[in-house]
Structure 1
């Protein structure tokens, strides 16, 4: 039975990684569900206040990394708040409209459309900003992947050592 419990916990962690490219999947909730499931099925004893504090700080970093990377990507290429919002909306909608590749095309189109419609930018400038949104998204995925790996690694150190 213990093996089945671990399989479920690991599955929750794997789902968190899918959330990196499908933002509709709440990665951090999946990670915390794995922690809580471990506590329920095995024991909460390994989880000190320090464990929860560290994991909470990493959670704040996860949310911050997402927004900041997107904002920097758009702003670095001359985008506005409208471009950031357009990129974010495109990121959420893109994968459902065009599965797989929509995760990259969505933020690009969202930023371009927002910059053209709201900020009245030239198409050339809007496309440059759209590329910045894709760079921001890729940076965000990479950064969040590292943070999630650290969170899960810290959990494993706490419960296995």
Structure 2
């Protein structure tokens, strides 16, 4: 059962890291879930109040930062709420519509369409699209870094 537990935990860590850039996968929640599965399948002993407090705070920070950093990218390049909404929709739909490049083109196209719908000029809409892509990349970097911290803290606590 211990080997099975470790396989599941590592698999969830991998899914979580891939989910940091591919929004369809659960990302941080897969990593957080891995801790619970470790407890159920292997042992709750290494975990205490401070472990759960630290990990839960990181999860909250990631969830807030994910939206905030992406939105800041759009805003910095002159985008409106329509661009933020369009970018988010594009980020979710893009990978399905354009499998190879949808993860990048989806937010860009979504932000541009959002701006065009509210009557923004093409130039400003394209700028918002660039901001959405840069915001997505910045958000991904933040998520990857914080999720790595979660995994490192887990291994420190377990070993």
Band of TM-score, shorter chain: over 0.9
The structure 1 segments of at least 4 consecutive aligned residues displaced by more than 2 Å after TM superposition are 1-5
Q: Which residue of 1 aligns with 2:130?
A: 131
Q: Which residue of 1 aligns with 2:37?
A: 37
Contact 2:16 2:31 in 1 (8 A): yes
Q: Distance in 2 between matches of 1:2 and 1:76?
A: 49
Q: Distance in 2 between matches of 1:139 and 1:28?
A: 16
Q: Which residue of 2 aligns with 1:11?
A: 11
Task: Give deviations 1:20-59, integer Å, cap 9, x for gaps.
Answer: 2221211122112210111011111111111111111100
SS of the residue 2:120 aligns to: coil
Q: Distance in 2 between matches of 1:124 and 1:5?
A: 53
Counting matched residue pairs gives 159
Q: Distance in 2 between matches of 1:95 and 1:20?
A: 14
Is residue 2:114 matched to residue 1:151? Answer: no
Q: Which residue of 2 aligns with 1:99?
A: 99
Contact 2:20 2:28 in 1 (8 A): no
Is residue 2:64 matched to residue 1:64? Answer: yes
Is residue 2:90 matched to residue 1:90? Answer: yes
What is the TM-score with the length of structure 2 in the denominator?
0.96
Q: Distance in 2 between matches of 1:121 and 1:41?
A: 54
Q: Distance in 2 between matches of 1:136 and 1:158?
A: 33
Unaligned runs of 5+ in 1: none
What is the TM-score with the length of structure 1 in the denominator?
0.95
Q: Aligned Cα RMSD in Å?
A: 1.0
Unaligned runs of 5+ in 2: none
Q: Distance in 1 between matches of 2:5 and 2:50?
A: 25
SS of the residue 1:145 aligns to: helix
Q: Distance in 2 between matches of 1:76 and 1:33?
A: 34
Q: Which moved more, 1:23-32 or 1:126-135?
A: 23-32
